[in-house]
A = this chain, B = another copy of it.
Amino acid sequence: MKNYLIHDEWKIIEEGFHPQYNKISESIFSLGNGRKGGRGNFEEKYSGQTLQGNYIAGVYYPDKTRVGWWKNGYPEYFAKVLNAANWIGINVKVDGEELDLAHMIIESFQRVLNMKEGTLSRSFVASFKSGKQLKVTSLRFLSIVTPEVGAIRYTVQPLNFSGKIKVTPFVDFDVINEDSNYDEKFWVGEYLENLGNEGYLTAHTKKTKFLVCSGMKYNVLLDGKEHAVHIENESREKYIESSFTLDLKQKQEITLFKYGVNTSSEYFNKSRLAYESKEILNEAFETGFEALLGEHKETWARKWETSDIKIKGDVAAQQGIRFNIFQLNQTYTGDDERLNIGPKGFTGEKYGGSTYWDTEAYCFPFYLATAPQKVAKNLLVYRYKHLEKAIENAQKLGFTGGAALYPMVTINGEECHNEWEITFEEIHRNGAIAYAIHDYIRHTGDKDYLAEYGFEVLLAMSRFWSQRVNWSAQKKQFVLLGVTGPNEYENNVNNNFHTSNMAVWTLKYTLEAIDFLKKNHTERYAALCKKASFDEANETSRWKEIVENMYLPWDEERQIYLQQDGFLDKDLTPASEINPAERPISQHWSWDRILRSPYIKQADTLQSLFWFEERYETEFIARHFDFYEPLTVHESSLSSCVHTVLAAKIGRPEKAYEMYLRTSRLDLDDYNNDTEDGLHITSMGGTWMAVVMGFGGMRVSGGKLTFNPILPDGWTGYSFMIRFRGALLKVNVNKDNVEVINESPIKVEVLLNGKEI
């Protein structure tokens, strides 16, 4: 746990340079605009601890899998989002001495992420060995309006000397992924142009052949006035620079405006990529820094209008929740259904930048309730477009007849993960994808989505479940053998309640979808059945049998669902009795000890109770919570949100708040010692859920939006915004009263604490 950042409602502030935490800061100060992003790296050279990272959405490389012992069905590749050109680079030399904060005395250092405006600024005074002091200030943003464009204002001022200052803006495409399996470079240089204040590099990725162009153009002000400089261009493979040198008098000030462009063949014709990049960059250059920044701020302001959460009386909590919302909005803007949300977004390389079930389970509710409807819809369409690959994936495992198993980890729809207990067995992910369809329709009322895309996905997944279960002659019920639930501290178990429950629910929901389509989209339904060779009578009759005869492990004595068969054979000593020096157990215990233990990594049985709470009495949920939560070690960042929501639901506000605190500032305080790898983007959706669904008690039920708010002790009030069926609602929770304000002319049905308002 670190505590070096200053608490502020709208800003993340590092006062004084903390080189020992620089990789953490680089993650935290990341910028993104949904199409590209990069870590909070310095513009100038830094020879200390750093991970230089710039990432372009959708551009990946299938890196050959590294595995100890091969198992049939493993994927051959792990698709990685690629570290792309460093376009922010500006090196500075003063009379031959290089500006490099790793080797200088630094004063007045400040690094600020302005979340309201979407900018990263920095200022400091650095002393060279010669004693010369240079003041530097910079401001950087990635336009949320024109996502190909980024811009930097970079000012240097000699404080106590006059001298020659050499400034070298550059673009470096000779980069490598830190997590490359075979230390291979993935980029092949194609084209290079470098003339005066403008230059471009084009490179393609090996194997996948994505083409990416990164360019820069700049102008220079001396003491605030446009200043012509003599430029020297230098180039080598995958690298261009364009430097100038000025004789500066003490206190004179150079300001460099560097504009960057990053385009990819995902959005532009390959043959026109360099040309289009030039067009875009020159337009940005003409528009100018202030105008670009102005429209950027305005767009961010509009995003905040519909997605902000205000917390009164707790600046740390306010900063924490805004940081999460800001990063979610930087990562995914929802205008391209080919994109999704990687666990680290654009802030690092770990987990390959791929899509996990995290998206549907923990991020989807945020976008559903705060962004235009198409944003959440595009997340569903992303999976729809991968349906063919999910069917192929199931075929590789021996399933037939159009059964689909979505991958555990993917970029392009193909499975990337290769631990058998996860890849082949953590199949509840299929359930999360079905649940997101249900969640979308419940929230938006867009039931026709079933006809458009949803049914095909549900059908293929129901076919999967129907083959994945088998009849147990012993139990005289259907069983689901060899699965791994959300609690990955159990592997290859039989009859995991959550997985079996999701299987049954998916079958039921698909049967309901069929009824709806038959009535409301008769022709479309017939066409879809034909397309999928769906033998309705036979296939649904087996589904119904399974729905009616599925085994769900249940303990009669405790009246609870069991996480899996045999769970009660474990030594059920509560997690609170584990020696604190041995926490987290994932870092201290051998894997077999963890597996034999009863300890739960993240909500498993409780995940189902959270998703289907309407089915159960509060007391029933509380009984399960009281059994499972004491055994839960919350060693996944995705654990606490579900527990917050449930604790709030069953009337345990202190427990809810305790759980909430574990994730609200997970990255800002580097709670798990791993923020340097990148931010926990997908768990940020969970934190939003914790506030809105936990404390706010928001649910959608029967076409109505309901709230049952509670106010955590440390807060004096909070408010949040919800989009619901065209309306925009503001919920204000204070000590004495709760208001729900409809800020739009569209009427919707809302229940507050069970009463219609």
Contacts and interface: CB of A to CB of B under 8 A. Distances in A.
A68 B566 contact: no
B474 A397 contact: no
Given A471-B571, A569-B472, A572-B473, A589 B68 contact: no
Contact of A470 (B71, B570, B594): B570
Interface string A484-501: 000000011011000000
A583 interface: no
A481 interface: yes
A397 B566 CA distance: 23
Nearest to A565: B566
B72 A589 contact: yes
A586 interface: yes
Contacts of A594: 72
A591 B73 CA distance: 7
A584 B445 CA distance: 51
Q: How large is the interface on A (under 10, 10 to 19, 20 to 34, 35 or more residues)?
A: 35 or more
A89 to B, nearest CB: 34
A593 B67 contact: no
Interface string A58-89: 00000001111101110000000000000000
Contacts of A595: 481-482, 492
A569 B398 CA distance: 20
Contact of A593 (B398, B421, B491, B593): B398
A425 interface: yes
A492 B492 contact: yes
A571 B467 CA distance: 12
A246 interface: no
A398 B582 CA distance: 11
A590 B471 contact: no
A492 B491 contact: yes
A592 B397 contact: yes
A436 to B, nearest CB: 24
A479 interface: yes
A571 to B, nearest CB: 5
A424 interface: yes
Contacts of A72: 586-591, 594
Interface in A553-592: 565-566, 568-572, 586-592
B587 A481 contact: no
Contact of A494 (B495, B569, B593): B569
A420 interface: yes
Which has the most chain B C-beta neighbours within 10 Å: A69, A565, A589, A591? Answer: A591
A735 interface: no
B71 A68 contact: no
B591 A69 contact: no
A470 B596 contact: yes
A475 interface: yes
A517 to B, nearest CB: 32
B68 A419 contact: yes
A315 to B, nearest CB: 38
A243 interface: no
A718 to B, nearest CB: 40
A571 B589 CA distance: 35
B73 A424 contact: no
A494 B566 contact: yes
Contact of A596 (B67, B481, B592): B481
A73 B586 CA distance: 11
Contacts of A472: 568-570
A565 B567 CA distance: 12
A418 interface: yes
A419 B492 CA distance: 14
Nearest to A67: B68
A65 B566 CA distance: 34
Nearest to A582: B398
Nearest to A418: B68
Interface string A452-493: 000000000000000000111111000101100000000110
Given A72-B586, A474-B569, A479-B569, A591 B424 contact: yes
A396 interface: yes
A182 to B, nearest CB: 10
A397 B586 CA distance: 13
B591 A420 contact: yes
A498 B592 CA distance: 19
Nearest to A78: B68
A43 to B, nearest CB: 36
Contacts of A592: 73, 397, 420, 424-425, 482
A471 B424 CA distance: 31
A482 B69 CA distance: 20
A581 B565 CA distance: 34
A223 B711 CA distance: 106
A486 B421 CA distance: 19
Contacts of A596: 470, 481-482
A600 to B, nearest CB: 15
Contacts of A398: 589-590, 593
A587 B70 CA distance: 11
Nearest to A475: B569
A73 B425 contact: no
Nearest to A491: B492
Interface string A218-230: 0000000000000
A225 to B, nearest CB: 58
Which has the most chain B C-beta neighbours within 10 Å: A492, A572, A588? Answer: A492
Contacts of A396: 590
A474 B558 CA distance: 11
Contacts of A590: 71-73, 396-398, 424
Shortest beta-carbon contacts, A-B, top 10? A73-B590, A424-B592, A474-B568, A67-B68, A71-B591, A472-B569, A397-B590, A482-B596, A470-B571, A398-B593
Interface of A: 65-69, 71-73, 396-398, 418-421, 424-425, 470-475, 479, 481-482, 491-492, 494-495, 565-566, 568-572, 586-596
15 contacts: A66-B67, A66-B68, A72-B586, A397-B593, A398-B590, A420-B592, A424-B591, A470-B570, A473-B568, A474-B568, A474-B569, A491-B491, A492-B492, A494-B566, A494-B569
